[in-house]
Structure 1
Amino acid sequence: MSERVEQIEAFVAYAKTLKGDEKGEAQVFCDRLFQAFGHEGYKEAGAELESRVKKASGKGVNFADLIWKPRVLIEMKKSSEKLHLHYQQAFDYWLNAVPNRPRYVVLCNFKEFWIYDFDKQLNEPVDVVRLQDLPARYTALNFLFPDNPDPLFGNDREEVSRVAASKVAQLFRSMVARGIPREQAQRFVLQAVVAMFAEDIDMMPAGTTLRLVQDCLEHGQNSYDVFGGLFLQMNNKAAAQGGRYKGVPYFNGGLFATVQPIELTTDELELLGKKDEGAAWQNWAKINPAIFGTIFQQSMDKGERHAFGAHFTHEADIQRIVGPTIVRPWRERIDAAKTMAELLEIRKALLNFRVLDPACGSGNFLYVAYREMVRLEIKLMARLDKEFSWKTVQKQAQATSLISPRQFFGVERDSFGVELTKVTLMLAKKLALDEAADVLERDQIELPLAEDEALPLDNLDGNILCRDALLSDWPEVDTIIGNPPYQSKNKAQQEFGRAYLNKIRSVFPEIDGRADYCVYWFRKAHDQLKQGQRAGLVGTNTIRQNYSRISGLDYIAKHNGTITEAVSTMPWSGDAVVHVSIVNWVKGEDDGKKRLYIQSGNDPAGGWDYKDLDEINTSLSFSTDVSQAQRINANAEKGGCYQGQTHGHKGFLPEPAEAKAMIKASKANAKVLFPFLIADDFLGAVDKLECRYVIDFQTRDLLQAKAFKRPFEHLEKTVLPTRKEAAKKEKDRNKEALDADPEAKVNKHHENFLKRWWLMSYAREDLMQTLAPLSRYIVCARVTHRPIFEFVSTAIHPNDALSVFALEDDYSFGILQSGIHWEWFINRCSTLKADFRYTSDTVFDSFPWPQEPSADAVRLVAKRAVEVRQLRSKLKVKHHLSLRELYRAIEGPGEHALKKAHKLLDEAVRGAYGMSKKADVLETLLELNETVVAAEADGKQVVGPGIPPSASKLKNLVTTDKLTISPTSWANNAPVKT
């Protein structure tokens, strides 16, 4: 530790000898800085000087002074430079420093280090460290050390917000636990939150709340009286002239219109006032309103530590909506204005601009939008002062009153979220005024700010509405932003109930019932927009796929909508463990390039890329848009791709020992007990696999099934009770729906399961009948990062985690395992979080097979397919690896035998299609899809999956390798030609 300090002290001494010349000394300053933090120099650490970064406009490049991915970007300025003036430049550099965007950004003028963590805190530095303080404060730059310890920041608003939210949430939980009505407890804590904020941001005398708590804890005062008195005074238009509430002004008649005092326990008072720990001891001026509400709301009903694990939406992610939809269009208007009259007209429009979040939660999107619009106004007014002087302008413009919270509207079903949003926006006004005053003073701009704007707080009861946004009218506004609820179609009925779903679908009958819940918001938002208005929403990443895309983004595109900026898919920073797409669009045309971001992997800080396109397709893809490819009957009707069997209850899967005991008790039981294969069995196993079993009575009726005594009794004991209970719950839900609407559609899903409770939920009889005459079939995991195909013996039953192909020839295997099919797969499939999902209706049914392959081409594809499997089997044994591990190895750089084998297979498959080496795979397949679909429409025969007619006379296209079953375990036999 002392050696580190000595090195940093030496660096500080050296840095003080520099003149602070950005051009001549920035590079040596950075090199010595890296040496001070334990490197031989910046170059040896792997950093780059004058690193190229695409411009935000997409045209040309900028040069960042230093980038060390994925750690830090350093931008140097001369010693006399005001660093705040370069915030936007630093942010733009960071935003476009992809892939592997650095986590931290440092602005430095040789005298100060302004440290930013944009993923965590967008608005201001997480710390500012003076050069002379670096030996004592170097831990703020810990990320510069080779071992990368966690940095310790002095202005980490996230940490302060978590601590404060945790204490207030504990107070709420304690009051509710001892019988205080929930609504009363909520109002009390919100009033206390406003009071603690107010005293730390100079809206009422400092320490007011803390003194009241101490009066109760140390002097025996009654909290019922003192807090009740405070809140009543905050609703009194006449300020107190004396006593303990002297100087407490009038706040408003909204939040404080109802005051219901509560007598707090000693423990509850300590949650507020325990020295250095209580909520009132926290510096509420450092609380981040953009995240506080979410942390608090999520913590109220969770465990004590939940505030420290609770997820919230990072401001950087909110800016992916607010920036393109609100800030950038206004900034472009301001920058394009040439005259004072134009600027004043823009300001007038800005002061009348109304924003809606129809699923506002606790108000974080609205807060960020409010703050950014205030900054836009200050930018506009500063330009007026600079170019025309305020004395000239003031005859035509009123004092700078700033954007009003009354321009912001929200809809939310949760009543407490509504109240949190109101509080957030009320406080935003004071914070915005303070920020504006600081900017004007700092930049020496003479603009008059209207006085007494912060109080009283605006009453936003008419702006933030407690109702169901999908079943009610929305306020008339100019733009729509937000993050609608996440709910897949599969869970919606369980979560919302059948009656509610029926209501929603009756209001939106044109939306496919298989679309995700967020699609309704996209659809309604677009219908709400007027020509030229913009919207930006977050949706599950299925918004770009299948039924959700068709009902959502396709609808927008076909109804005069233009996507202006989007993120294809990324892990969301909010509470839901979900991958999302972010879409910004305008109703009408939009000139210029449109930016599409795509992220690979699960790390928000890395793996990013973007392109500036003439048009963003509704699949949100860089590639040729194949979303419009159509179903090919030769694929779908032949039944080439199936979903495996869905057992539906773990009772159908007896333990291996129990299954063997059943067979031992009666050999006849082997007719209904089968080996059962799941995806991980063949992907994750290195050696032999333990056999798992499934009870499958296939098409047998109740009496026929009962003849197999042991298996039947096992299901009767394990499955039957569960199915009775599920059917009862379904019946109750249906009654609720029918009571609301006698004509409502109801679900008899579990009722039908109960009628045939001894059978698997979906035994896939058509699949099993199709497989019966085959010697083997092909499988791949339905949810996978990369589809890996394998042959399986028909003695083994496939689980529904598998996509099953009723094909036994090596040619078909080669087509499916090729990179050509993979390209189609990743551009046509749906996803589950970050993984792709192989489905018949999206991938297989539309995939065009080679239509005129020669016999030699077919033979070569089959040969290369066998070689791939032979090599896989050999490498598995030699290196003791699973199939999954083998394929992960070929995804990275470097030579690999399996990579070469796949390259040869791809060349063979291209030959079967008549596709040149340079031909674009997706363009070729999309054209072929259109040709095949058109041919079918004309009644012509087309070539589907399986051995094509041109190779019907070829022999040796069906080899014998496959996953087979021995009496006690799986075995993967090496491929052998027959």
Structure 2
Amino acid sequence: MTPTVTADTARRMQDFVAYWGTLKGDEKGESQVFLDRLFQAFGHAGYKEAGAELEYRVAKQGGGKRFADLVWRPRVLIEMKKRGEGLANHYQQAFDYWLRLVPDRPRYAVLCNFDELWVYDFGVQLDEPMDRVRIGELPERYAVLNFLFPQEREPLFGNNRVDVAREAADSVARVLNSVIARGEDRARAQRFLLQCVMAMFAEDFELIPRGFFTELVGDARQGKGSSYDLFGGLFRQMNTPERARGGRFAPIPYFNGGLFRVVDPIELTRDELHLLHRAALEHNWAKIQPQIFGVLFQSSMGKADRHARGAHYTSEADIMRVVLPTVVTPFQTRIDAAGTQKELRGLLDELAAFQVLDPACGSGNFLYVAYRELRRLEARALLRLRDLSAPGTPLPPTRVSIRQMHGLEYDPFGAELAKVTLTLAKELAIREMQGLLGNTGLDFDQPLPLDNLDDRIVQGDALFTPWPRVNAVIGNPPFQSKNKLQREMGPAYVRKLRAAYPDVPGRADYCVYWIRRAHDHLQDGQRAGLVGTNTIRQNDSRVGGLDHVTAHGGTLTDAVGTQVWSGDAAVHVSIVNWVRGPQPGPKHLSWQVGDRQGSPWQSVEVPVINAALSAGTDVTAAQRLTTNARSGACYQGQTHGHKGFLLSGLEVGQMMRDPKARPFLHPYLTADEMIGNQGSTPERWVVDLNGADDLFSAMNAGTAFERLKREVEPEMRAKAEEEREKTGSERGPRQAHYQRWWKHWRGRGELIEKIASLPRYVACGQVTKRPIFEFVSSGIRPNAALIVFPLADDYSFGILQSSAHWEWLKARGSTLTERFRYTSDTVFDSFPWPQSATPEQVRAVAGAAVALRGLRNEVMKRQGWSLRDLYRTLDTPGKNPLRDAQERLDAAVRAAYGMPAGADVLAFLLALNARLAAAEGRGEAIVGPGLPAGLNAADFTAADAVRPLG
């Protein structure tokens, strides 16, 4: 039953408050009894009975353990401090604990100093607690801690600043998009609205009189002046060093010559003024974090621009996964270990000189967080210095400056946003430092005039712009795949990129260039932390980036192998932090398991993080085996290239009446149909004239040719002409294809010839999340979404369907979200087949394979299931006949390999790959894919296969 407000609940809360009044607030002596009584107040017999644990061990970066006061998975982490302790100084500790508490990471984190509870939801909002509750308020406000009840319900928070920020950003973005939609220049509109946003921050920070800008908007709405005149007058005065001698703008101080250097106001409509007035009136902009500009930046970009440049907003929790290990932890460790004033003063000097670069800074969110954390480190060092100094000893002034932050940004508006983000960060930091340091007698920075950051935030393409010398490089480079780079950036840009970075493989993702350049820019002891698509740990992208890092003096210190991206992009990402030079001690590697926000996490401490960002055996060094590559046993299916090649069942029935067309019509199977349809049957047919080398031959196909001429040829012609106009060349790929427009884009003639000589072939989805292989009748044409193995025997099927092959696929293939992509060059060409399997072992594998398929077919027929339905049952715990059949197959395959019991599969296969590559290098023959020589294929070839209907 869901907890409700009852007299019993109120009584327990009052009893807890009464008990609390008897405590002294001793962190060591009273924390545990305080926590036990808190759990009793929420209806438990105690913390232990609820399933919570005290003094929970948490791995510490660099080695060792720390102890969280209470962990109740997956609900809450509670960290206790002594009475009177400032909780703002400890949120980072709580975040670090939270980050490493995987799997079943608690959703909430609570800091408590016996008088006050600060409640965080780090997945939503990092820097600010979702709410603060004094212990004495619990009888009225316990709903903030609703997650502590035996039956959990959503807490009622009063400080969700992320939602407020998004609402505020949405209001401004709607004004901006409205102005652009009615014809105003985008750059002009962006600058003007950004000046309006700064004015709203300024009035709520009281840098200008409170409510001043809101009154101007109200006057414009009521017709007491035009927004063009009123806003223009304000912005010009904000850019004038001398105060106005009179008039309405006399109270306005000088800001700087940066954001307000160009004042070009826009006359707003009544509806636009209404939206802006609401944004100014309904939100306290002094409480809105500058990360709002990330939302504003993304919403203000045209969709084409955002997609082409791969721009995506990064959550603060993900930013901290970079800033914490790259900037914070190295300093924090030294500050906490410092035992003398000299050491601390030296660290303060280092903090004041520490320079940070984000070479794809967007709206400046990474730089904002890095600056904020440097200021907090400075406060931590000053407080330690005070503790080590004689009473009354003056402390050195605060010196960390936003001018230590450097950024490069391709989009001009993004660069301007980054400058504003940092200028606001300075004001927020001043206020926070005053709260953290209290009455220390320190002088703090003056907020005005704002720093001019034109020489710190530079607009330009970071891959072709000089980088400043810094101590750390952080950021989130553009998400742009290798496949879309040329189409969206243009051939000329790609040629320029390849010429500038010739050592990066051409098939590497765009973000790899940032990894490469960042590492080459670092000097010994300097660090970098970057977010990238999760392909950076695979194949050519890994070779161009992380392999280069580790081969040239880099040590990966902290990494996320893969996680669901927290932004709008439907991708999985990796996060890597490294130092140029050695780094002693264990390294922290984590990864998310699943394809949704909130999927569980795993984490390990390892002595070395490999370039594959994998906790298992690193098989990136596996070599291509010539025998496999030349075997002709692995292909991608056909790419038809135009929907006009595809036929529905009704269309096929009509066209089959034409004897000339009939030989060129074939059932056409996709991966989704093979895995998702009952019986794995194809739904469509394909016209295949790939054997026709000239127009006359193609015309012999009768109505099949006529269909292609009607449906395909006009679009092929248009694409060829478009390419000619765009490139100015007569030799583009689409122009060449137009000379054989009746053929598929990739007809795979060699594959079709091979399967034509077989009764059936093995296929799997090119992209898949589960190990599902199936036999397909050779009368069916395979689509490009299938990987095809022209092998008809059950032994070969058994090897491919085995867990050994699946583990190799996962380790050597690339990924798309949480799904794995089968790549013939990296997976199949390097996969070592058993070298000395006996006939009995071959029969055992084949028999287990036949039994597995027989079970699958029987269950699917009985239940009306597809292969996808069947394999999803493996996600549910419990005895499962399919799992048992797979285990019997795996045991037979291990025996064929001669793999010892309990052996690490990947380690065994990697060692075998190395031996076989060495043997080939000596000119020796090895056993490649397929049934071993000397065995009769007919004895190992059953009849089952996917067949077309009818």
Q: Do they fold alike, i.e. is TM over 0.5?
A: yes
Residue in structure 1 matching 2:416, options 416, 419, 427: 419
Q: Which residue of 1 aligns with 2:886?
A: 902
Which of 665, 676, 680 pairs up with 1:684?
676
**1:811 aligned partner:** 795
Q: Partner letter of residue 763 of structure 1?
A: G
Alpha carbons of structure 1 residues 709 and 150: separation in structure 2 relative to 1, 3 Å: farther
Contact 2:165 2:289 survives alignment (8 Å) = yes
Deviations 1:934-966 (A, max 9, x none): 1111111110111113x5258621111111224
Find the partner of 2:505 among 479, 499, 512.
512
| Among 234, 240, 248, the residue aligned to 1:230 | 234
Cα distance change on mapping 1:85 and 1:536 into 2, 3 Å: closer
Please say if residues 931 and 937 of structure 2, whose CA atoms lie closer than 8 Å, have aligned partners that are also in contact.
Answer: no
1:851 alignment partner, one of 835, 854, 864: 835
Whole-Å Cα distance in 2 between the matches of residues 841 and 593 of structure 1?
34
Q: Residues 107, 8 of structure 1: CA spacing in aligned structure 2 closer, same or farther, 3 A cutoff?
A: farther
2:405 is the counterpart of 1:408: yes
| Aligned counterpart in structure 1 of residue 36 of structure 2, from 28, 31, 34 | 28
- Is contact 1:791–1:962 with CA below 8 Å preserved after alignment? yes
Counterpart check, 1:546 vs 2:536: no
The answer to whether the 8 Å contact 2:673/2:683 transfers is: no
Corresponding residue of 2:99? 95
- Does 1:16 pair with 2:25? no
**2-side partners of 1:885 and 1:407: how far apart?**
56
2:94–2:111: 8 Å Cα contact kept in structure 1? yes
CA distance in 2, matches of 1:687, 1:557: 48
Matches within 5 A, 1:730-749: 730-735=723-728, 748-749=732-733
Which residue matches 2:643?
A: 650
What amino acid is aligned across from residue 281 of structure 1 in structure 2?
E
Tell whether the 8 Å contact from 2:108 to 2:122 is kept in structure 1 after alignment.
yes
Tell me if 1:794 matches 2:778.
yes
Output the CA distance in 1 between the equivalents of 2:578 and 2:276. 45
Distance 1:337 1:618 in 2: 34
Counterpart in the other structure of 2:431: 434
Secondary structure at 1:17's aligned position in 2?
helix
Question: Residues 177 and 887 from structure 1, CA distance in 2 versus in 1: closer, same or farther, beyond 3 angstroms?
Answer: closer
Q: Is the 8 Å Cα contact of residues 32 and 54 (structure 2) preserved in structure 1? A: no
Partners of 1:63 and 1:4 in 2: CA distance: 35
Could you tell me which residue of structure 2 aligns to residue 927 of structure 1? 911
* Cα drift, residue 479 of structure 1: 1.4
SS across alignment from 1:586? strand
| TM-score normalised by structure 1 residue count | 0.91
2:61 is aligned with 1:69: no
- Cα pair 1:272 1:281 within 8 Å, conserved: no
**Matched residue of 2:5: which SS?**
helix
After TM superposition, the structure 1 = structure 2 runs for residues 553-592 of structure 1, keeping only pairs within 5 Å, are 553-592=546-585
Q: Does 1:314 align with 2:306?
A: no
- The one-character-per-residue Cα deviations of 1:671-725 (angstroms, maximum 9, x if unpaired) are 1110011112221123574631011112113222212222222222222222222
Amino acid at match of 2:410: R
1:698 corresponds to? 690
Which residue in the other structure is 1:742 paired with? Answer: none
| CA distance in structure 1 between the partners assigned to 2:927 and 2:742 by the alignment | 40
Picking from 116, 119, 122, the partner of 1:118 is 122
Which among 660, 665, 672 is matched to residue 673 of structure 1? 665
Quote the Cα distance in structure 1 between the aligned partners of 2:166 and 2:793.
60
Which residue is equivalent to 2:296?
296
* SS of 2:463 mapped into structure 1: helix
Change (3 A) 1:781 1:565: same
| Aligned-partner Cα distance in 1 for 2:421–2:735 | 48
Deviation (angstroms), 1:173: 2.2
**Which residues in structure 2 correspond to 1:330-479 (within 5 Å)?**
330-389=331-390, 391-392=392-393, 394=395, 397=396, 399-400=397-398, 402-441=399-438, 446-450=440-444, 453-479=446-472
State how far apart, in whole Å, the 2-side matches of 1:143 and 1:325 are. 33
Q: What CA RMSD, in Å, does the superposition of the two structures yield over aligned residues?
A: 2.4
1:206-253 deviations in Å (ceiling 9; x for gaps): 111112222333462332222222112212223346543343211101
TM-score, normalised via structure 2 length: 0.94
The answer on whether the counterparts of 2:16 and 2:41 sit within 8 Å (CA) in structure 1 is: no
CA contact (8 A) 1:594 1:615 kept: yes
The more displaced of 496-505 and 67-76 is: 67-76
Q: Cα offset for 1:282?
A: 1.1
Q: Distance in 2 between matches of 1:366 and 1:952?
A: 66
Give the Cα separation in 1 of the matches to 2:791 and 2:143: 61
Kindly tell me: are residues 690 and 941 of structure 1, through their superposed partners in 2, closer, same or farther at Cα, counting changes over 3 Å?
closer
Between the aligned partners of 2:393 and 2:4, the Cα distance in structure 1 is 60
Matches within 5 A, 1:631-642: 631-642=624-635
Instruction: Determine if the alignment matches structure 1 residue 959 to structure 2 residue 931.
Output: no
Matches of 1:126 and 1:447 in 2, distance apart? 31
Aligned pair in 2 of structure 1 residues 7, 245: CA closer, same or farther (>3 Å)? farther
Counterpart of 1:203 (choices 199, 202, 207) is: 207
Q: Residues 47 and 67 of structure 1 are in contact (CA less than 8 Å); yes or no, is this contact kept in structure 2?
A: no
Q: Indicate how the Cα distance of structure 1 residues 845 and 228 shifts in structure 2: closer, same or farther if over 3 A, else same.
A: same
Residue of structure 2 equivalent to 1:774:
758
1:375–1:64: structure 2 CA closer, same or farther, 3 Å change rule?
closer
The amino acid across from 1:31 in the alignment is: F
Which residue of the partner structure matches residue 743 of structure 1?
none
Paired residue secondary structure (1:965): coil
Q: Distance in 2 between matches of 1:779 and 1:390?
A: 78
Paired with 2:569 and 2:709, the residues of 1 have a C-alpha distance of 38
State which of 36, 53, 56 in structure 2 corresponds to 1:52: 56
Residue 822 of structure 2 corresponds to residue 838 of structure 1: yes
Structure 1 unaligned blocks of 5 or more = 739-745, 968-978
SS at match of 1:762: coil
Counterparts of 1:614-629 in structure 2 under 5 Å? Answer: 614-629=607-622
CA distance in 2, matches of 1:160, 1:216: 25
Tell me, in whole angstroms, the C-alpha distance in 1 between the residues paired with 2:938 and 2:173. Answer: 73
- Report the AA paired with residue 359 of structure 1: A
Using the TM superposition, give the Cα deviation of residue 159 of structure 1 relative to its aligned residue in structure 2, in angstroms: 1.2
Rate the CA distance shift 1:77–1:591 in 2: closer, same or farther, 3 A: closer
Q: Displacement, 1:27? A: 4.5
Q: Sequence identity of aligned pairs in percent? A: 50
1:788 is displaced (CA, Å) by 0.6
SS of the counterpart of 1:289?
coil
- By how many angstroms is 1:140 displaced? 3.3
Q: What are the ranges of 5 or more consecutive residues in structure 2 without an aligned counterpart?
A: none
CA contact (8 A) 1:572 1:578 kept: yes
Q: Per-residue CA shift, 1:794-814, capped at 9, x if unaligned?
A: 011111111110111111111
Q: Which amino acid aligns with 1:449?
A: D
Aligned to 1:871: 855
1:79 shift after superposition: 6.1
CA contact (8 A) 1:569 1:598 kept: yes
SS at match of 1:584: strand
